Structure 1
Amino acid sequence: MNTPRIAIILTDTLAAIGLADIIRRMMPKAEAHILHDVEKLAAENHPQFFHFFTDTQILMEHAAFFLSVQHRTIVLIHGDEAVRLPQGFHTLNVRQTEEGLIRSFLRLAGAAHGAHGREPEAVKQAKGCPPPVTQLTTRETEVLRLVAKGLINKQIADHLGMSTTTAISHRKNLTKKLGIKSISALTIYAVTHGLIKAEEV
């Protein structure tokens, strides 16, 4: 198997560790590498990396390198920093809630891979073979889809024509069955198991 390798080159080590964790949750079989030396990376065989995550400071300091891998580079920005970037780079705004960040991450992945119709085979393999979702009832699956879309319990109840208490009960049941409690983790689960498309979150 050609394991996807992802390079994380950030000035903020804590952010790099957090990003590596998100990548590992989304693609358990991928390798997320935190790097500190762009010159060494540029001199080596960098085609081994599927993507490069960096920040605006490192991008500007090493513009020649990142322009050469522009289609594989994702720049983490803080608010409206994108206006200072050369055109053509993918960006991910890190100034948002965890749920918002995960949704943006999933949309970015869906848009990038959707542009040519499908994910590379190695990326599919890195996500792992998700277990079947048969353990959830039809109603729990519907509730999970709506949670992944960002709806709150009252909105879910209204959308499905049930009481808020019933919506909460379905939500509790599905989180118990899946062993997942956070909205961001439920969203990742729903997308990676094909229950919802990334562009719908």
Structure 2
Amino acid sequence: MDYFETFSPVARIDTIRTVLALAAQKRWKVYQFDVKSAFLNGELEEEEKMISKFEMTDLGILHYFLVNTPMNANEKFLQDDGVVRTDPKEFRSLVGGLIYITHSRPDIMFPVSLLSRFMQNPSKNHFGATKRVIRYIHGTLKFGIRYHHVNDFKLVSYTDSDWASCVDDRKSTSGFALTLGSGMGTFCMYSLTS
């Protein structure tokens, strides 16, 4: 089998953000285009309909319940929280869609990473928290990453840890973010550590 005929390299989002930051700094023109051959000449169809897919179609009600943060600051989730279980397939689909959105909305990276820990056996509490993230996104559609020329173009990193906040196993969640010039190069990669 000739793997080189069907191989299609895909750029990492970190690389794309770094190139955009560099282009903004150097004042280069940037053009976007899609290459259908990257998907083996298949039909490209966008799907971003999460609100209707997960029965949040009443935008009046959704607008009424908009939130300013993607997650409650002091909320702790348990694997076995004693709450009625929900459909894991639907929950995985919702979290998977949110993971995709983190490419353009890195401000939701922490809650999405946290909620992805419960994909095997989610409860209604976990499902409600994911819907809160959708309500946050709906109320902040104009948010994004802005790249522009700056005088002090340098790489800066930030890191943080919450020190044993996981209620199930007392592990810590740590994360980091890198900025390059005006925009983020890598956003908030979270992981459990012991």
TM-score (normalised: structure 2) = 0.26
TM-score, length basis structure 1: 0.25
Question: Which one has the bigger helix percentage?
Answer: 1
Q: Point out which structure has higher relative CO (alpha carbons under 8 A, 6+ apart).
A: 2
